[in-house]
Structure 1
Amino acid sequence: MSKDISFHKLSDLTAEARAALLQRTEGNLDPYLEKVGPIIAAVEAEGDAALARFAREFDNSPVAPDAIAASSSDFDEAFDALDPDMIEVLTFACDNVRRFHEAQMPEEMWMKEMHPGVFAGDRIVPIDSVACYVPRGKGAFPSVVMMTAIPAVVAGVPEAVIITPPGPDGKVDAATLVTARLAGIERVYKCGGAQGVAAVAYGTETVPRCLKIVGPGSPWVVAAKRLLAGRIDPGVPAGPSEAIILADDTANGRVCALDLLIEAEHGSDSSAYLVTDSAAVAEAARAAIPDFWQEMGEQRVGFSSDVLCGPRGGIVLAETMDEAIAFVNDYAPEHLEIQAKDPHQYLGMIRNAGEILMGEHTPVSIGNFVLGPNAVLPTNAAARTCSPLSVFDFTKRISVGHVTKKGYDQLAPYALKFARYEGFDAHGNALSEMRSQAFAAGRST
């Protein structure tokens, strides 16, 4: 590998150059927004016929309009085709993810007495329907099935489906189907990209319309979600992969290099930085990366070298850990690893990250597959305001109140003054003597 790893010294950067390091592929969706519009319109107008046509055009997949849904025999064949050891791995991982999200579930209802005779609280209910998007273009991702489908099932969503691009054989990846069944979902549809998002936003002859879509995807998927946000809830912003390895001078540079490659190998549109205040760690990592490329396949080397040798990846050297952490918080990465002998000393300083994985034995790979917390995380700096996918994304809160006569007598005078101040006559009348008169008149009839 002859390419040079991108290297940036924070203290030497102009404000514009530093801001450029914070940019992601999905930062400018304008080219995609223009192209996905006609795709969405075609799916709305033609339904399954458009899905089949786009499967041939974009996925090189021979899917017939009447074969959009995976059949029960497809599931059975997937279990027969998949290596038993892999089924064991998927079962283990699904169990960990399920246990985490079961522990995450809130109480079904709570209510507190705010004042004597005044009760208020929340009731938690699942949303009616959701589509879990599972990408496929750069590989098969049963891990995404786990992370999207299991919390939906745990939350009790009555209609949870999976959409995913079909393969060249016109079928759904075997591990995806096995994981779907292990997660508790049997409805899987062969439609990905912008056309898949449109299918669940509008519904087709086969694919049901859903209220929400969750899961990561390409800029095409992100653009479609944005255009259709008024039609379907787009869920946690989850675009191309990104990660920061934050390391102090106690970190092992070669281990940092190993972990830096994890998210960089997802695709050329990914982002990955090693951010450190140690020149020695930075140099050790930079020297090790070509060695590790020798142990990777050509496609993954191509993806990761595009990232680490390009404008959205590489090594960032800070003068101090405070400067390094400030960069991390500005970047708000999807994945953050803290590589240090004592990672806990930095934990309280991190405000913006989708997840924080601490220590040299917690690589992103562990978090992506088997740790338990959700690995569908906010991208493109959305971690400044958004959280990881969770059971909360598949539920909603309904406020509940109950006021007795004793409580009403205390609250009504305050509410009446509010109503009069804001000029709402009916609000005020419902709190006035007219209420007592209405009760009296009702009892006399």
Structure 2
Amino acid sequence: MTDVSFYEYSKLSADGKAALLRRSENDISSFMDKVKPILEAVRTEGDRAVARFGRELDKADISEATIKVTEAEFDAAFGLVSTDVIDAIKFGIENIRVFHEEQKPEAMWLKEVRPGAFAGDRFTPIQSVALYVPRGKGSFPSVTMMTSVPAVVAGVPHLAIVTPPAPDGSVDAATLVAARLAGVETVYKVGGAQAVAAVAYGTETIKPALKIVGPGSPWVVAAKRILAGVIDTGLPAGPSEAMIFADDTVHGGLAALDLLIEAEHGPDSSAYLVTHSRRVAEEALAALPEHWARMTAQRVDFSSTVLSGKCGGVVLTSSIQESYDFVNAYAPEHLEILSTDPFSHLGQITEAAEILMGPYTPVSIGNFCLGPNAVLPTSRWARTFGPLSVTDFVKRSSIGYVTAPAYPLFAENAHKLAIYEGFSSHANAVSPVRDAYLKPKG
């Protein structure tokens, strides 16, 4: 049996408590130097570098001629995916679309702030966005759904998916099915740091984008940081992380079941169960071997590595308040509130990107088909960022309109402030100098 990391929170030193907040992506300095030559090669060599890195890093059968997915490959994908899975993708896309349609801001609003003076906002789509869909430790049509649907709802005219190729040079068939059903038919077979560089700089085949969204490995995170001055890198979405908050109204075996959901993504994931109930903690530890017995060997390896390491395990607190404090300090990507009365705890939780309530809302449902977006900020960025949304695919312009009758009042007040701040041109623009130009020609 794997020795799962177990912590009694109140007995930890300040350094020990701080150590629990660290994620695998916190220190990516070792990746920065490795990534830089990849980015420069793509910038200078274009398709040739993209194909070369596909062969060398992804071990894929890829050439410059096969970087872009063809219409025939899209068509064939529907024959490779079972109808059950296609139906599940359709179910998820429908719910995700309903959610994001409700989230979409009105195109423009104006409010009369004073008689004859109006101010408001206008929202217009970003013209080009790249959607990153990872593949290294699995295939993720769900990420395709979560990134594509809000982008299509927002009306982005130029959308492209970048995703690592398989060894045979193909793209996961379900990912292509999800892309087409969501409304995106431009897919490039490129992943990792080279994908970020390709959409930042553009290549002979891959058109440059203004923004890239989607979760990725430390290689992707490092590339985004370096290229943040070239392309908008969106919300910080790195390796998966989850926290299962459980009170004493649930069985610990249920908490253990859900603890494994994000832990199985990969050894760089983070996953904690936090509870003030020793019974729940002990039941969870006892149940883990039973749950592992029902999982594939690879996922057991990933999740056991996480739960026995420095970024996962079971945290026993001394009180419900201490549990709240730990959740808020951690600011998790995914948070489950496992309780028969989850709303009694919700008001105490302020720092979490996604909050899934009660025993019938596991992260699995949130990840695949409930509707809210599952592309979420990681590494404590939930303190300032929210989930991916329609608003990530639009830009906001402020609108102002002052009519002739309203102008004198605004000019008077603007003139006073311009003089105080020492801006003579500002002051002149709302002075009698302007009035002379505004008089009707006689």
TM-score class normalised by the smaller sequence? over 0.9
Match of 2:154 in 1: 155
SS at match of 2:406: helix
Tell me which amino acid in the other structure corresponds to 2:134. P
- Tell me if 1:342 matches 2:341: yes
Deviations 1:121-161 (A, max 9, x none): 00111111100000000010000000001100000001011
- Which letter does structure 2 place at the counterpart of 1:11? S
5+ residue gaps in structure 1?
A: none
Question: How far off is 1:268 after superposition?
Answer: 0.2
- The CA RMSD over aligned residues, in Å, is 0.8
Match of 2:313 in 1: 314
Q: 1:215 maps to which residue?
A: 214
- 1:116 maps to a residue whose letter is P
- The question of 1:255 aligning with 2:254 is answered yes
| SS of aligned partner of 1:314 | strand
**Which residue matches 1:194?**
193
Superposed, 1:323-402 pairs within 5 Å as 323-402=322-401
Q: Which residues of 2 match residues 428-439 of structure 1 at below 5 A?
A: 428-439=427-438
How many angstroms does 1:82 deviate by? 1.0
Secondary structure at 1:399 match in 2: strand
- TM-score with structure 2 setting the length: 0.99
1:203 is aligned to: 202
Amino acid at match of 2:145: M
- In structure 2, the residue matched to 1:269 is 268
What is the 5 A alignment of 1:25-424?
Answer: 25-424=24-423
Q: Once the two structures are superposed, what CA deviation does each residue of 1:386-428 show, in whole Å capped at 9, x if it has no partner?
A: 0000000001111001101121111111100111111111110
SS at match of 1:341: coil
1:204 counterpart letter in structure 2: T
Q: Deviations over 1:338-382 (max 9, x none)?
A: 011111011011111010001001000000001000000000000
Alpha-carbon distance in structure 2 between the residues aligned to 1:250 and 1:73: 53
Query: Aligned partners of 2:86 and 2:307: how far apart in 1?
Result: 34
Cα distance in 1 for partners of 2:8, 2:99 equals 39
- How big is the shift at 1:315? 0.3
CA distance in 2, matches of 1:63, 1:265: 29
**Which letter does structure 2 place at the counterpart of 1:435?**
R
| TM-score w.r.t. length of structure 1 | 0.98
Which residue in 1 is equivalent to 2:21?
22
Superposition deviation, residue 439 in structure 1: 2.6
Aligned-partner residue type, residue 185 of structure 1: V
Cα deviation for residue 322 of structure 1 reads 0.5
Match of 1:4? 3
Q: 1:380 and 1:208 mapped to 2: Cα distance? A: 30
Give 1:417's aligned amino acid.
Answer: K
Deviant stretches of 4+, over 6 Å: none
Alpha-carbon distance between aligned partners in 2 of 1:251 and 1:234, rounded to the nearest angstrom:
40
* One-letter amino acid matched to 1:318: T
- What CA distance in whole angstroms lies between the structure 2 residues aligned with 1:168 and 1:266? 20
Once the two structures are TM-superposed, the CA of residue 208 in structure 1 deviates from its matched residue by: 0.7
Task: Write the letter of the residue equivalent to 1:183.
Answer: A
Q: Work out the CA distance in 2 between the residues paired with 1:19 and 1:251.
A: 28
| Paired letter, 2:79 | D
When structure 1 is superposed on structure 2, of 282-291 and 406-415 the one drifting more is 406-415
For 1:87 and 1:280, how far apart are their aligned partners in 2?
41
Q: 2:441 aligns with which of 431, 440, 443?
A: 443
Question: 1:307-330 CA distances to partner (integer Å, 9 max, x unpaired)?
Answer: 001111000000111001100000
The amino acid across from 2:195 in the alignment is G
Q: Distance in 2 between matches of 1:218 and 1:88?
A: 29
Deviations 1:78-109 (A, max 9, x none): 01111111111111111111111011111111
Aligned counterparts of 1:11 and 1:257: Cα–Cα separation in 2:
22
In structure 2, C-alpha distance between the alignment counterparts of 1:247 and 1:86, rounded to whole Å: 32
C-alpha separation between the residues in 2 aligned to 1:351 and 1:35?
A: 37
Q: Secondary structure at the match of 1:59?
A: coil
Offset of 1:443 from its aligned partner?
2.1
Q: Secondary structure at the match of 1:338?
A: strand
- Distance in 1, Cα, partners of 2:86 & 2:305: 33
**In 1, distance between residues paired with 2:70 and 2:234?**
27
Secondary structure of residue in 2 paired with 1:26 = coil
- How far residue 295 of structure 1 moved from its aligned partner, in angstroms, is 0.5
The CA distance in 1 between the partners of 2:169 and 2:148, in whole Å, is 22
Write the distance in 1 (CA, Å) between the matches of 2:441 and 2:305: 79
How many residues align? The count is 442
